[in-house]
Structure 1
Amino acid sequence: MPQVSHGNTDLHWCNGCDVPLIRGGACPSCGSEPLRIKHTPPGDIRPGFPHDIDEVEHLADRQWGPGAGRALGIHGSPVLLNPCPAPDRLDEVIAGGHVICSVSFSQKELSTMLLLRRDGGARLNGSGFTPEKGYVVCDPTAVPFIMDGMNLLSPGITDCSDGILPGDEVLVIDDDGRVIASGLSRKHSRDMVGTRGMGVKIRWSALPEENSTGNPQEQPEREWKETWDHVVDVNRPHLHSLVKRAVSFIRDAVKRYGPKAAVSYSGGKDSLATLLLTRDAGFELPVMFVDTGIEFPETVEHVRAIAGEMELDLIVGRPRNDFFELVKVFGPPGRDYRWCCKSCKLGPTVSLIREHFPDGVLTFIGQRRYESNTRERKGAVWKNPWVPQQTGASPVQDWTALDVWLYIFLKGARYNPLYERGFQRIGCWLCPSCDLAERELLNLTKVDQEPWSRILEEERKMRDLPEEWIEKGFHRFKKLPPHMVRLAGEMGMERELLDTGRISKGRKGSFMFVDGYGSCADGLSQEGVLNPGMERKRFISLLNIIGPVTNIEGTEGVEVRPEGWSMKRAAVESYSDGTIVIRGSSEDEIKNVRRKLESVIKRTEGCIGCGICVGRCSSDALHIDESGKVMISEEKCIHCGMCLGPCPAESFVRDPYTV
């Protein structure tokens, strides 16, 4: 879901050339002063592809009758789409320098609709179109009231089309069939006329004679590619300036952080632009691609095609474990439970870099500040905290999506075909961060959805959840955000859907602690017990994360004393029968020791061999053994704790019981 705190783009429209201008000032082509486009921020605007244009026309025809789509006048001229902050898809459609409508997806109804805007109404009127459905006729006496911002009451409605339902988007027309407003229906068609109460909640209103700014300009109709070639030509000075700065950035980065450098290529537009820019800078760098196993088949094909065309040195990383096997252990991932990113993407990235760039690598990555708050804060150059050997750099950090696309069009480069099928982002096809609206688009791809559908259905039945848990996208969250809580309430299913916490598949009683603390000679202590079936050799090995491990004289137990430990007794004592004692000079210290110990226990039980922690180790003390799980070499370990980073097992293994 787009955020709004990343600033606003300065986008204009030249009426003389009928093209968007990425920066203000006189049009470089015709010299006329452009119109500033009023859109919802942040304005990470992208081109409308033929699929998008066809969709808008189809929705208009479906809602208002045949010919409505063509009456909007969006064929043969540039169309822009602006993703807006919303629970799911909400794209403003920009044509002729104005927002003419929005494409909105309803999670409740699982349907997409057009929300007409004032300038879209002007286009319908200017074309002479009269709605055949989805309309109400406003009594002339009620027109002044809705022009003053009031809603349309049923006594002010003289007629309406059949089939209107509460919640439908409807057009308000006058006696001459001209659109004067649009809004949300509050009633069925049968109750719209001759009753009391609100009929339509008005979104906007304008008299036809006052609303002519949205009429299409008289321009020659072009094919889609010809249209965008024209946009590129007009914006060429801006693009050359962008490329010049990016090339300088790349050369400076290689000089400062090189000489080993590579490009991270995901198959998406931003990484494609980054790859092209490195070549413009005079470098032919190796390209890294992580095939998570849940990439779109089209993306994998595209990456290999690009590698072949450009004769790239393509380095492919893959996860050690198949996603569909891991999901049986961890459960479905969520936006707030993204274990899959660690095991299927971050882990393979760590392994790939350690194998091919053991001395470190400067990686050019196509990330942009408009994508998220996190990426905005990161800056153009950063050190990856989980991959110490990697320095990341983005030459497109300050580019908008439109900048990226125009540069790709300028270069005439082959891009991922999924963009032409309506996809906004290219990544793992079942990513929980995807909009629910994109689910229907999967049918246009080569993806085999059956295994994922089967897993979700098995999870739903195991947890006795309603079918809406899958249908409405509740499975994408561990803890429901406010908009999903509201949706559950609107559906009358709060009780069934609000308690969707994931069932841990860790063994009950794997470890537990006694509630409260006891006093010892120089501080506090807390006792616990581990499951005797835990793999003790691995557990003792991983205890080195906390500090040096030594044997307790006269027993089969071990103890751990972190660096600088001042107490007489060790911080952790672990015995072969499973009993365990932790100590600290204060409650805060004992909590800190316990937190690290719990992490060690969870990793012992839940390690899947993803290798993330291995990449974090600066002393090369961690390795994956023959069983596919992590072990620590005591001789090499410096007990720095750097490996206590993100670990899938932290999310999977059950927290301790307190008794």
Structure 2
Amino acid sequence: MRADPQLWNYSWRTSYPVRLRKERILLGREVRLGEMKLFWCPSCNLPVVAQRICPRCGEDTRVVRLTPPGDARPAFEGDIRLIREVVGRNFGERAAEAFVRDGEVVFINRAPSVDLHHEVIAGGEVLGAVIYDLKEGDFRLTLREGGSARIVDVAERGVITVDGGAAQAILERGASLLRPGALEVRGGVKKGQEVLLLDPSGRLFAGGRATADLPPGEVSPGKGMVVKVRWKSPTSPIPPPPALMSIQDVVEANREYLKYLEQKGVEFVREVRKKFPRLPVVVSYSGGKDSLATLLVVLEAGLKPPILFVNTGLEFPETLQNVRDVARRYELDVLEATPTADFYSEIERFGPPGRDYRFCCKSLKLGPVVKLIGERFPQGVLSFIGQRRYESFGRMEKGEVWRNPWVPGQIGASPIQDWTALEVFLYILMKGAPLNPLYRRGLDRIGCWLCPATDMGDLEVIGGEHPHWERWSEFLARWAERESLPKEALRWGTWRYRRPPGWLREMARREGISLPEDLRRGWMGMLEMEEGRDRIVLKGVKDKGRLLNILYAVGEVKEGVVRTPEGEVLVEVSGQEVVLKGSAVGDLVGFLKSVAIRSQECVHCGICPGRCPTGALTLGPSGIEIDEKTCVSCRHCLLGPCPAEAYRPSRGFSF
């Protein structure tokens, strides 16, 4: 039965309202970035995307209650293996097979958490979650009613029968299970393990987490809590029926809706193209699902642009192969941008990259893009980019068309801005496009293999296989020693933050470890600056000639004097100390500091030269250089952001 296209336009909002929150929300609370789009048809046992009416039988569907933002995706082979491994470790192999059946369609929803937290969806409801425990350095399981009901009869361990009084206290007051109320344990229980609770009649009525070891058999007398109860139900939970079908069946059932999405994307591409008719077009391609879906929509719109790929040197081998496969499949040219900067040299200066300290994106990705655009598209370029609102607050707020202050000359546009990950994957499968095989191994995101945005759980799954793993591990060990961090802190992924968040500080405190406020303090010889009323004192200037050269960006330099519209700045040199002084310093302090940092600590990203309107600023072997004959001192190169400035370590200088 054909569903009404009006229902595809999210007219179901009135029955399931979602209020988008633009403010950043603390961890553990709801994060709304868009509409919840995963529905289920109870009659067909069929997953349905964004439709209140089942496209197969015409009956009403119901929304699957996911943890927001609800960016669910199909579970692939690697996900299923991990889910079964974790369930089997808790309850035995038969339980693992019953939890996720062979031939069943399963979805994964990544919930906000301190690390990997995958809700497992099957049969129209959330069965439980696989969570990476940073403290233990391992995966653990949490169950909900439906998942518990699937395995309770076949579980070999982790099941406790309780007496009537304890069952009543749990159901009526939400009490924890105390040792006197536990009667018998099936197969034994380990502290921290997920457990299921049965009443004296053998009915499943609650579940939670063990707080003590219990051997199999009758429970010996004693005191204390043995189970922290997470869920309880006055009636026996009914296990959701397995959706025994292939993911291709799901694609076919949702084909009309996916074609509708594609058409909306095509219309967007053509509309944006009309707004910028003189700009050449590229598709930014990373080897990931979102950029692939974007490319497919652009091709469907009748365009055949080259793909722009940034090879940072930190890509997975599978990603490099995927870029080649996609280019060959669709007969596209590849514009490959490569960084001048070397990652392993950069981290010796900056320390490891962090979620709040992403200098690497600027020097290894955006810098090469700026350089390539300047060389190939000096008048600018329209780049279709696979950005989605469900990925982050920043991307939600950016909109469908934008300009990036780090990349002059580029207009970015995303035809899949409002798509969920599920829509992206189903669309790619419908088109039969080459999907990066790393997704089938269980990765959520594809990019630099050691990106600080990656969860430690993902690195546990696949990171150790990368050719650079040993080199990276050796660096982290040196960094941890320099910052006086114990090995436990490395296992927690402390390196992924410059300023450790509150939850990480608290976890460290409980282990007797005090984390500093700034974990990037004092790397390599940093330029020191002291600011006075009419002067700036620079200490540790290693290349005075380059400093004088880059001062041309501010004004004409002649015989130790910088002549600017604001007045003159005198330059006094004594060894590695340089003093910039004069009445104009106060008006030019921002530009002068910028020149000092960029001339002495250039990271070879190429962003500054990309802003120069005359071509006077270029990137040489030792950093940026100015052709003094063609420089007009317009200061455009200093007006935009610079990674050397934005991500300076905080020890050894003062502003």
User: 1:431-471: per-residue Cα shift (whole Å, max 9, x none)?
Assistant: 11100001122268554411111111222233432112322
In the alignment, is residue 490 of structure 1 matched against residue 499 of structure 2?
A: no
Output the amino acid matched with 1:502: R
Measured at CA, do residues 107 and 274 of structure 1 come closer, stay the same or move farther in structure 2, by a change above 3 Å?
same
Q: Does 1:559 align with 2:554?
A: no
Question: How do 1:495-644 residues align onto structure 2 when only pairs under 5 Å count?
Answer: 497-498=515-516, 501-507=519-525, 510-513=527-530, 517=532, 524-526=533-535, 528-531=537-540, 534-545=542-553, 547-551=554-558, 556-561=559-564, 563=565, 565=566, 570=568, 572-577=569-574, 578-582=577-581, 590=586, 593-631=588-626, 633=628, 635-644=630-639
2:146 aligned counterpart, secondary structure? helix
Does 2:268 match 1:249?
Answer: yes
Gaps of 5+ in 2: 1-26
**Does the alignment pair 1:648 with 2:651?**
no
- Taking the aligned partners of 1:187 and 1:72, their CA distance within structure 2 comes to 25
What is the CA–CA distance in structure 1 between the aligned matches of 2:233 and 2:502, rounded to whole Å? Answer: 34
Q: Which residue of 2 aligns with 1:171?
A: 196
Q: CA offset at residue 646 of structure 1? A: 3.2
- Aligned-pair distance for 1:173? 2.4
* 1:622–1:633 contact (8 Å) kept in structure 2: no
Q: CA distance change for structure 1 residues 575 and 192 in 2, over 3 Å: closer, same or farther? A: farther
- 1:357-396: CA deviation from partner (whole Å, max 9, x where unpaired): 1221100100001001111111111112222211111000
What per-residue deviation string (whole Å, max 9, x for no partner) do you get for residues 219-277 of structure 1?
6x44xxxx111111111121111111100111111122134101110000000001111
Aligned residue in 1 for 2:24: none
Q: CA deviation at 1:641?
A: 4.3
Q: 178-187 or 639-648: which moved more?
A: 639-648
Q: Is the 1:505–1:652 Cα contact (8 Å) retained in structure 2?
A: no
The separation in 1 between residues aligned to 2:345 and 2:536, in whole angstroms, is 36
Instruction: Kindly indicate whether the alpha-carbon contact (under 8 Å) linking 2:573 and 2:579 is maintained by their aligned counterparts in 1.
Output: no
Which of 166, 178, 184 aligns to 1:153? It is 178
Instruction: Give the paired residue count.
Output: 621
**Distance in 2 between the 1:177 and 1:422 partners?**
37
On the 8 A contact 1:102/1:114 being kept in 2, the answer is yes
Distance 1:401 1:584 in 2: 57
> Residue 342 of structure 2 aligns with which residue?
322
- Matching of residues 348-427 of structure 1 within 5 Å: 348-427=368-447
Percent identical: 39
Are residues 158 and 632 of structure 1, via their aligned partners in 2, closer, same or farther at CA, if it must alter by over 3 Å? farther
SS where residue 389 of structure 2 aligns? coil
One-letter identity of the residue aligned with 2:318? E
What amino acid is aligned across from residue 603 of structure 1 in structure 2? R
Letter in 2 for 1:610: C
For residue 417 of structure 1, give the secondary structure of its aligned residue in structure 2: coil
Distance of aligned partners of 1:340 and 1:390 in 2 relative to their CA distance in 1, 3 Å threshold: same
2: distance between equivalents of 1:657 and 1:593?
Answer: 19
Matched residues in 1 for 2:374 and 2:140: separation? 49
2-structure distance, mates of 1:460, 1:336: 18
Q: State the distance in 2 between where 1:491 and 1:76 align.
A: 44
Question: Which aligned pairs between 1:406-485 and structure 2 lie closer than 5 A?
Answer: 406-442=426-462, 445-485=465-505
Give 1:645 deviation, angstroms.
3.0
Q: Distance between the aligned counterparts of 1:26 and 1:347, measured in 2?
A: 48
Match in the other structure for 2:330 = 310
In the TM superposition, residue 284 of structure 1 has moved relative to its aligned partner by 1.0
Q: Does the 8 Å CA contact 1:298/1:445 hold for their aligned counterparts?
A: no
Residue 75 of structure 1 and its aligned partner are, at CA, apart by: 2.8
Are positions 1:138 and 2:162 aligned together? Answer: yes
Q: How far apart are 1:111 and its partner, in Å?
A: 1.1
> How far is 1:26 from its partner?
1.6
Residue of structure 2 aligned with 1:300, choices 320, 324, 331: 320
Structure-2 separation of matches of 1:525 and 1:448: 49
| 2:248 aligned residue | 229
1:557 positional shift: 2.2
| Amino acid aligned to 2:376 | H
Shift of 1:611: 0.4
* Equivalent pair of 2:530/2:654 in contact (CA under 8 Å): yes
Residues 544 and 17 of structure 1, relative CA distance in 2, 3 Å threshold: farther
Q: Are 2:556 and 2:633, in contact at CA under 8 Å, matched by a contact in 1? A: no
- Give the secondary structure class of the aligned counterpart of 1:333: coil
Q: Which amino acid aligns with 2:111?
A: C
- Quote the residue 2:240 is aligned against: 215
- The change in CA–CA distance for 1:408 and 1:621 in structure 2 (over 3 A counts) is same
1:318 CA drift (Å): 0.5
The corresponding residue for 1:103 is 130
Q: CA deviation at 1:175?
A: 3.8
Alpha-carbon RMSD across the aligned residues, in angstroms, is 2.6
Matched residue, 2:89: 62
One-letter amino acid matched to 1:449: W
For residues 654 and 79 of structure 1, do their structure 2 counterparts lie closer, same or farther at Cα, with a shift above 3 Å needed? closer
Within the candidate set 277, 285, 299, 1:258 is matched to 277
Contact 1:298 1:446 in 2 (8 A): no
| 2-structure distance, mates of 1:459, 1:606 | 20
Among candidates 332, 355, 362, match of residue 342 of structure 1 = 362
Which residue identity does 1:606 align to in structure 2?
E
Residue among 302, 306, 314 paired with 1:282: 302
Name the residue aligned to 1:521. none
- 2:611 maps to a residue whose letter is R
- Alpha-carbon contact 1:468-1:474 (below 8 Å) kept: no
The SS at the match of 1:292 is: coil
Deviations 1:609-657 (A, max 9, x none): 2201111233433111354434364633343345343323223476665
Q: How does 1:36-55 map to 2 (within 5 A)?
A: 36-55=63-82
**Is the 1:68–1:124 Cα contact (8 Å) retained in structure 2?**
yes
Residues 83 and 91 in structure 1, CA contact (< 8 A), matched pair in contact too: yes
Aligned mates of 1:268, 1:287 — CA distance in 2: 13
Structure 2: how far apart are the matches of 1:402 and 1:432?
A: 24
Residue 208 of structure 1 and its aligned partner are, at CA, apart by: 4.8
1:575 is aligned with what amino acid? E
- Deviations 1:504-536, CA, capped at 9 Å, x for gaps: 23436x44426xx5xxxxxx42452544x5322
Correspondent of 2:108 among 81, 86, 90: 81
Greater shift, 460-469 or 390-399, is seen at: 460-469
Q: CA, structure 1 residues 69+582, in 2 after alignment: closer, same or farther (shift >3 Å)?
A: same
Unmatched segments (≥5 aa) in structure 1: 518-523
1:117 aligns with 2:144: yes
Q: CA deviation at 1:11?
A: 2.2
